[in-house]
Amino acid sequence: MTVFDDELQKLKEKLLRMGSLVEDAIKNSVTSLVERDNALAQRVIDNDRLVNTLDVEIDEESIRLIALRQPMASDLRFITMAMKITTDMERMGDLAVNIAERAMELNTEPVLKPYIDIPKMREIAQGMIRDALNAFVKKDKKLAVDVIMRDDKVDDLKHDVLQELAFFMTQDPTTVSRAMRVSFVAQYLERFADHATNIAEMVIYLVEGKIIRHTLPPA
Amino acid sequence: MTVFDDELQKLKEKLLRMGSLVEDAIKNSVTSLVERDNALAQRVIDNDRLVNTLDVEIDEESIRLIALRQPMASDLRFITMAMKITTDMERMGDLAVNIAERAMELNTEPVLKPYIDIPKMREIAQGMIRDALNAFVKKDKKLAVDVIMRDDKVDDLKHDVLQELAFFMTQDPTTVSRAMRVSFVAQYLERFADHATNIAEMVIYLVEGKIIRHTLPPA
């Protein structure tokens, strides 16, 4: 194993660590909403700086590796994609923070209704980021395609949540401000899944050496 | 002027062209909403493929330049940041498409109210992407800081729009589905401005050689 192999391995480990932090963040943010746990919501907000630190570190390390090792072809592709992926993961961390913030606001008011579809969205979205990153470090195209396929399910659930919330607001105007906040949470989760999809698309680019982004029919 | 200088210049021109397409897209998407112009909305949707094509071209060209020319220090930083910026711009194009889609849905129903703050948000957001990209290609830190400052104004306007929409929905349940769609538009515009802010933060990184992302206090 060369020094460069070792450095590349460390870069992969950092990416996976960042992914694992983002996974924890989305899980805890939704739990803080469902269980009305302000302390947990605050922890999600505080821990986001760990995600941000890794974002910066991975960028710096990637630029250093390119400048110093002048990697060719597939390694170069891997490192530049890693830099793009951190952008997605950093935003995913922000979305978890947004959910935690809405949770803290919602926790000051009576429960609108038990959350059913939102935890489902969270579960799928969390699996998507885990598998998208694993697909990236293992260059596993099949797993990447599988991640992309799951995005539709998240979109469908979001659609159901928004329909139900519109019904609540129409029936009872006192629910409007709470229902709007819950609708934001559903949208954050949808965007979280979109970022995982973007990462999965980059995996296919990495493996096939060609860009499939924008070539799939719109969902 | 070396061949590499020339290639770098072409890369900058492509970035500016992509920015100009994204500017047109956001402008036309909001016009299609305000003027209830379905044909214009459809044009925004159709033209997004031009943005997507440039996204792929800039990525490919950037990787080619790094592999072939092995640029050092500031050029390498510029090229890798260009690849990250295209990710932002591609999403901005998608947001314009989302606005155009909501416009077409809203155009099938009576006008909820005249749009005042939404065109204001659009105007600021459009100026932000124009200036963020100019700051990037000219490495103009002052302009980049100015872009970042404007993001608060967009957030404030979004807040006002959502408050007003909540009031509508509370007063008259028949407005709920329309008001929700308009609230999505306000959120798309806020995210559009966020992407411009991300680009401006990368400019400062490029100029200072250090990452200011995540070091500013949250808005």
Instruction: Tell me the ipTM for this assembly.
Output: 0.90
State the pLDDT at residue B219: 41
Taking an 8 Å cut-off on Cβ atoms, the answer to whether A80 and B66 are in contact is yes
| Interface-testing mutation among B214, B215, B216, with chain A (most A C-beta atoms within 10 A) | B214
Burial degree of A16 (CB within 10 A; 0-12, 13-18, 19+): middle
Query: Which of A66, A84, A180 lies at the smallest CB-CB distance from B76?
Result: A66
Give the rounded percent of residues in chain B with a pLDDT score beyond 90: 88
Pull the structure tokens for residue B202.
């990368």
State the pLDDT at residue B73: 79
Residue by residue, DSSP assigns A140-160 as -HHHHHHHHHHHHHHHHHHHH
State the pLDDT at residue A60: 92
The overall average pLDDT reported for chain A is 93
State the pLDDT at residue B217: 46
Q: Is residue A153 very low, low, confident or very high in pLDDT (cuts 50, 70, 90)?
A: very high
Query: Residue B167 above 70 pLDDT?
Result: yes
CA pair distance A166, B166, nearest whole angstrom: 12
From the CA of B127, how many Å to the nearest CA of chain A? Answer: 23
| CA quadruple B13, B16, B21, B22: dihedral, nearest 10 | 150
Q: Pick the range with the lowest mean pLDDT from A165-179, A197-211, B148-162, B195-209.
A: A197-211
Tens of pLDDT, residues A33-77: 999 999 999 999 999 999 999 999 999 999 999 999 989 878 999
H/E element holding A91?
Answer: helix A73-106
Chain B residue with Cα closest to A77: B63
Taking an 8 Å cut-off on Cβ atoms, the answer to whether B213 and A56 are in contact is yes
Tens of pLDDT, residues A157-168: 999 999 999 999
Taking an 8 Å cut-off on Cβ atoms, the answer to whether B213 and A83 are in contact is no
State the pLDDT at residue A96: 98
Residue ranges per structural domain of chain B:
3-208
State the pLDDT at residue A211: 54
Taking an 8 Å cut-off on Cβ atoms, the answer to whether A177 and B183 are in contact is no
- CA separation (Å) from B43 to A30, A37, B26, B50, B195? 38, 46, 12, 11, 23
Chain A residue with Cα closest to B71: A67
In terms of CATH architecture, what is B3-208?
Up-down Bundle (1.20)
From the CA of A60, how many Å to the nearest CA of chain B? Answer: 9
CB B77 within 8 A of CB A63: yes
CA pair distance B124, A108, nearest whole angstrom: 34
State the pLDDT at residue B206: 86
Q: Report chain A residues whose CB lies below 8 A from the CB of B183.
A: 180, 183
Q: Is residue A218 very low, low, confident or very high in pLDDT (cuts 50, 70, 90)?
A: very low
State the pLDDT at residue A112: 93
Tens of pLDDT, residues B168-216: 999 999 999 999 999 999 999 999 999 999 999 999 988 887 655 555 4
Chain A residue with Cα closest to B64: A73
Give the rounded percent of residues in chain B with a pLDDT score beyond 70: 95
The dihedral region occupied by A37, where left means phi > 0, alpha psi between -120 and 50, and beta the remainder, is beta
Query: Which of A53, A67, A84 lies at the smallest CB-CB distance from B76?
Result: A67
Taking an 8 Å cut-off on Cβ atoms, the answer to whether B67 and A52 are in contact is no
Query: Residue B135 above 60 pLDDT?
Result: yes
State the pLDDT at residue A50: 97
State the pLDDT at residue A213: 58
Interface of B with A (CB under 8 A): 49, 52-53, 55-56, 59-60, 62-63, 66-67, 70, 72-73, 76-77, 80, 83-84, 87-88, 90, 162, 165-166, 169-171, 173-174, 176-177, 180, 183-184, 187, 198, 211, 213-214
Q: CA A162, A167, A168, A174 torsion: positive or negative?
A: positive
Query: Which of A49, A56, A166 lies at the smallest CB-CB distance from B211?
Result: A56
Tens of pLDDT, residues B43-61: 999 999 999 999 999 999 9
Tens of pLDDT, residues B68-108: 998 987 899 999 999 999 999 999 999 999 999 999 999 99
Taking an 8 Å cut-off on Cβ atoms, the answer to whether A180 and B170 are in contact is no
**Could you count the other beta carbons within 10 Å of the beta carbon of residue B172?**
13
CA pair distance A37, A42, nearest whole angstrom: 9
State the pLDDT at residue A217: 46
The overall average pLDDT reported for chain B is 93
Taking an 8 Å cut-off on Cβ atoms, the answer to whether A173 and B173 are in contact is yes
Mean pLDDT, residues A18-41: 98
Taking an 8 Å cut-off on Cβ atoms, the answer to whether B169 and A173 are in contact is yes
Taking an 8 Å cut-off on Cβ atoms, the answer to whether A213 and B56 are in contact is yes
